[in-house]
Amino acid sequence: MKKTVAIIAGTRPECVKMAPVYFELLKSETLRPVFVSTGQHRQMLDQTLAVFGLKPEYDLNLMQPGQTLPDLTGRVLSAMTAWLAEHKPDAVLVQGDTTTVLAASLAAFYARIPVGHVEAGLRTGDMASPFPEEMNRRLTSPLARWNFCPTEVSKANLMREGIDPASCSVTGNSVIDALLRVRDRQKEQGLDAAAVAAKVGIPEKFTERFLKKPGAPWVLVTGHRRESFGGGFERICEAINRLTQEHPEVGVLYPVHLNPQVQEPVKRLLGDNPRVALVPPAAYEEFVWLMDRCAFLLSDSGGVQEEAPSLGKPVLVLRETTERPEGVTAGTCTLVGTDPDKILAEAHRLLGDRAEYARRSALKNPYGDGHTARRIREILEETLR
Ligand code: UD1
């Protein structure tokens, strides 16, 4: 009989990075994947599941509006404990550093079910940034029987913390598997500006002036980090307003995260700027298309920092630290924090200095070749007994 591997996902990025692992395990002769959603992000997760044609076999549906971290952690821990007791999978896979990851790993540990941590070993070294993700991932590493590290850098982090080397393997990052899969499909289907604009809800003016004109410079923005709630987001919005004042030729497209702490300042401060298009969170497929065509990105997202080197798009990272030094080393990602002067200085360079832009948009592949999911499957097939 095949062994059951429960794949747990609660948020948009977990779904993107777990989809390739799920489809790879479906091919296994000895393992059977079961997709379990905690529903930490109701709308954003459902939107992403749809892109990959994934239907969770089980949905714990735990999101509540304005959820606090302790509430959500408690709800995931109890609901996962009950689910594991009923379904008794042979292994549990989690991905990344969200509340879903920590609480589901702990539930599996209590139930004595082995845990595999996809994207293990990322560290900023600062417990306050990203908060609470740095702590979530640190606590998950010793709970895991398999630590699937994206790069040698992440594996070395785990070695320094005394994590059992036998649990660690370098597999690459499955986000590249997802990215390549989605780009291939876009090519087959010939996705174009009009279709993307209609699906994302991009205003016609912006579409005509920027998306349909090759070479018209526009910037793609995303942001959701708790460290930036309040003043940080206000400063980011100030920088965007100043960017459009100082560069009248530049447009800004900003799919705004659904967290109310993000929505409020962004709509208040950018809602009236005619050169900024605020749109709902874009589905992964359209987001990849947009990343591929913007001039550069302003973002605090982890996934974007990983995808950008493969797409050759410079990212000004709206954070003080990063757990993804590979993108910085490659030259694609630059840490700018939330200081408007710093953001603008770097944006000016990218818009005004062709040689610098060329250097920072050189294609690099620090996160692997798109075969991460296969490596994870092979390791599980060999070692899950
Ligand atoms: C979470 C993760 C973060 C991850 C990010 C990706 C934690 C602690 N944080 O942050 O690591 O990078 O997701 O997006 O796990 N909401 C909706 N609909 C949605 C999604 C969110 O309404 O589809 C609202 C809810 O009111 C929710 C709030 O956003 O209470 C915040 O969501 P939450 O999961 O607590 O944290 P994020 O900031 O999204």
123 and 226 assigned to the same domain: no
Residue 379 Cα to ligand 1 midpoint, Å, equals 31
Of 24, 119, 323, 326, the active-site residue reads 119
Q: How much is the CA Rg of the chain, to the nearest whole Å?
A: 20
133 is catalytic: yes
369 is catalytic: no
156 and 260 assigned to the same domain: no
47 and 140 assigned to the same domain: yes
Q: Which atom of ligand 1 is nearest to the CA of 132?
A: 8
The pLDDT tens digits of the residues spanning 332-341 come to 999 999 999 9
- The answer to whether position 281 is within a domain reads yes
- The answer to whether position 180 is within a domain reads no
357 and 213 assigned to the same domain: yes
d(CA 329, CA 154): 14
Q: For the chain, first and last CA: distance in Å?
A: 12
Residue 237 Cα to ligand 1 midpoint, Å, equals 20
- The answer to whether position 183 is within a domain reads no
128 and 197 assigned to the same domain: no
The pLDDT tens digits of the residues spanning 154-169 come to 999 999 999 999 999 9
Over range 107-119, report the average pLDDT.
98
Of 14, 97, 307, 346, the active-site residue reads 97
pTM strictly above 0.95: yes
Range of the domain at 320: 191-361
Mutation test of ligand 1: which of 98, 256, 304 has the most ligand atoms closer than 8 Å to its C-beta?
98
Residue nearest to atom 25 of ligand 1 (CA): 65
Say how many domains are in the chain.
2
Q: Which atom of ligand 1 is nearest to the CA of 226?
A: 38
| Predicted local distance difference test score (pLDDT) of residue 385 | 84
Mutation test of ligand 1: which of 62, 63, 140, 227 has the most ligand atoms closer than 8 Å to its C-beta?
63
Q: Which atom of ligand 1 is nearest to the CA of 42?
A: 23
Name the least confident of 87-91, 184-188, 295-299: 184-188
Residue 97 Cα to ligand 1 midpoint, Å, equals 12
Collapsing DSSP states into helix, strand and coil, what is residue 134? helix
| Predicted local distance difference test score (pLDDT) of residue 183 | 94
- The answer to whether position 356 is within a domain reads yes
Residues with CB under 6 A from ligand 1: 11-13, 40-44, 65-67, 69, 97-99, 132-133, 224, 258-260
The pLDDT tens digits of the residues spanning 339-348 come to 999 999 999 9
- The answer to whether position 130 is within a domain reads yes
257 is catalytic: yes
Residue 264 Cα to ligand 1 midpoint, Å, equals 15
50 and 108 assigned to the same domain: yes
| Predicted local distance difference test score (pLDDT) of residue 104 | 98
125 and 79 assigned to the same domain: yes
- The answer to whether position 185 is within a domain reads no
Mutation test of ligand 1: which of 16, 41, 262 has the most ligand atoms closer than 8 Å to its C-beta?
41
381 is catalytic: no
- The answer to whether position 182 is within a domain reads no
| Predicted local distance difference test score (pLDDT) of residue 71 | 98
251 and 373 assigned to the same domain: no
133 and 255 assigned to the same domain: no
Give pairs for 304-308: CB < 8 Å, separation 24+.
Answer: 304/222, 305/333, 306/150, 306/173, 306/175, 306/176, 306/367, 307/175, 307/176, 307/179, 308/332, 308/333
CATH number for 127: 3.40.50.2000
41 is catalytic: no
20 and 94 assigned to the same domain: yes
With pLDDT > 90 as the criterion, what percentage of the chain qualifies?
99
The sheet carrying 58-59 orders its strands as 58-59, 31-37, 3-9, 91-95, 115-118, 146-149, 168-170
Longest alpha-carbon distance in the chain? 65
Q: 139 and 335 in contact (C-beta within 8 Å)?
A: no
| Predicted local distance difference test score (pLDDT) of residue 256 | 98
Mutation test of ligand 1: which of 43, 102, 127, 258 has the most ligand atoms closer than 8 Å to its C-beta?
258
Exposure pattern of 89-105 as b/e (b: 16+ CB <10 Å)? bbbbbbbbbbbbbbbbb
116 and 133 assigned to the same domain: yes
23 and 150 assigned to the same domain: yes
Q: Which atom of ligand 1 is nearest to the CA of 302?
A: 12
87 is catalytic: no
- The answer to whether position 336 is within a domain reads yes
